[in-house]
């Protein structure tokens, strides 16, 4: 007849044997529940102590307690061993090889407009031009009157220009429609000394937003004033700029035009850098691309800037970096520049 001591001995052998095959913490938890848990085999056997004769209970009780202590000890040891193995495996999986090259962090991209402006500044710096910062909020006089714009010029209308609400009797203030007001600021600061300045920045016009026009965009203005400055100096400056910006061999042509602040005035074209002047879709098969306007500084503007036009002359011009970028990279919609679409910016990173 099997006694309680026999069952305890069999349980001990079975439990220790089962523990040898446990390889992870989940299996160990199951082993504990099976053998020494509240509803485990040992707990169920210990409930039979009350049915034993009084003289057998002390020995059987001691055996139950000894077995429970033994199994809990081996359980604790197995748990510590398996936890250490799990940590070691996790560390091995996440191990960092410090000899491998690191991942380059994503630190953003320079916007295409700023890339073009930096190229422009570098090119003009090589010709002795200094960057001149000019305010975006201007007096009407600096934006129009001092630049030889007549009082009835259409650009002065509210539908063309963003005016700032001012108290009654205060001077008229607006968001500059071009970077040309910087010419007056620069000349008045430097007159009667010669100067060469490049004036980049944002400009604002009350225009309908389309694929070709925005109500906020950028310009860069260049101005040179000195004695004996001629149209030949202007064309030489433009030729150097065109070759550096669009590639060696790029030619420049000037077409007669009109601007209030220059006389004579011209539109600047460059040979299409995509087809080499042979004609393609980008240049509309003309072989030339229009870049911007330029000319000799009008005597009235020189005088308003503090220079005597009988002694001094100068040339000036203004281009749009977005226009340059659109031609250079075949971008067909100016709205992409300020869409906030990261995919557009990353193409030129």
Q: What DSSP letter does each residue of 183-200 carry, written as one string?
A: HHHHHHHHTTS-EEEEEE
Whether 100 maps to a domain, the answer reads: no
Q: Do 288 and 141 reside in the same domain of the chain?
A: yes
Whether 135 maps to a domain, the answer reads: yes
Whether 99 maps to a domain, the answer reads: no
Per-residue pLDDT, 157: 75
Rounded to whole angstroms, how far apart are CA atoms 231 and 265?
10
pTM of the model: 0.67
Per-residue pLDDT, 158: 66
pLDDT in tens, 123-175: 999 999 999 999 999 999 999 999 998 888 777 776 688 999 999 999 999 99
Instruction: Determine what percent of the chain is predicted with pLDDT higher than 90.
Output: 45
Q: Do 133 and 263 reside in the same domain of the chain?
A: yes
Is the preceding peptide bond at 143 cis, omega within 30 degrees of 0? no
Residue 263 labeled ligand binder: yes
Q: Residue length, the chain?
A: 349
Q: Do 82 and 120 reside in the same domain of the chain?
A: no
- Ranges assigned E (strand) in the chain: 130-131, 137-139, 163-164, 173-175, 195-204, 216-226, 252-259, 262-271, 288-297, 313-319
Q: Where is the domain boundary, 94, 125, 146? A: 94
| Angle, alpha carbons 332-334-340 (nearest 5°) | 115
Whether 225 maps to a domain, the answer reads: yes
Q: Do 27 and 154 reside in the same domain of the chain?
A: no
Q: Domain of 331?
A: 112-347
Q: Do 119 and 89 reside in the same domain of the chain?
A: no
Per-residue pLDDT, 327: 82
Whether 106 maps to a domain, the answer reads: no
> Between residues 323 and 226, which one has the greater pLDDT?
226
Whether 102 maps to a domain, the answer reads: no
Question: Structural domain tally of the chain?
Answer: 2
């Amino acid at each position: 007849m099997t006694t309680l001591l026999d069952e305890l001995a069999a349980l001990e052998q079975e439990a220790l044997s089962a523990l040898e095959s446990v390889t992870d913490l989940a299996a160990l938890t199951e082993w504990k529940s099976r053998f020494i848990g509240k509803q485990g085999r040992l707990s169920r056997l210990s409930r039979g102590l009350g049915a034993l004769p009084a003289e057998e209970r002390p020995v059987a009780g001691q055996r139950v307690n000894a077995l429970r202590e033994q199994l809990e000890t081996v359980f604790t040891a197995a748990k510590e061993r398996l936890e250490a193995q799990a940590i070691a495996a996790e560390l091995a999986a996440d191990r960092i090889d410090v000899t491998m090259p690191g991942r380059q962090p994503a630190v953003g991209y320079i916007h295409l407009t700023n890339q073009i402006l930096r190229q422009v500044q570098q090119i003009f710096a090589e010709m002795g031009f200094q960057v001149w910062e000019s305010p975006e909020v201007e007096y009407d006089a600096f934006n129009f009157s001092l630049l030889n714009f007549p009082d009835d010029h259409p650009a002065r209308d509210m539908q063309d220009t963003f005016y700032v609400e001012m108290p009654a009797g205060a001077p008229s203030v607006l968001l500059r429609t071009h970077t040309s007001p910087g010419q007056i600021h620069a000349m008045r600061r430097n007159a009667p000394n010669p100067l060469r300045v490049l004036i980049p920045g944002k400009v604002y016009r009350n225009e309908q937003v389309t694929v070709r026009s925005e109500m906020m965009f950028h310009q860069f203005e260049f101005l040179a004033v000195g004695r004996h400055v001629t149209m030949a100096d202007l064309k030489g400056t433009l030729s150097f700029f065109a070759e550096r910006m669009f590639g060696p061999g790029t030619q420049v042509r000037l077409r007669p035009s009109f601007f209030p602040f220059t006389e004579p005035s011209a539109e600047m074209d460059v040979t299409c850098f995509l087809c080499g002047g042979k004609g393609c879709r980008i240049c509309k098969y003309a072989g030339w691309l229009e870049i911007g306007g330029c000319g000799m500084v009008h005597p009235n503007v020189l005088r308003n800037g503090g220079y005597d036009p009988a002694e001094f002359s100068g040339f000036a011009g203004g281009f749009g970096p977005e226009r340059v970028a659109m031609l250079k990279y075949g971008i067909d919609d100016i709205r992409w520049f300020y869409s906030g679409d990261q995919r557009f910016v990353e193409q030129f990173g």
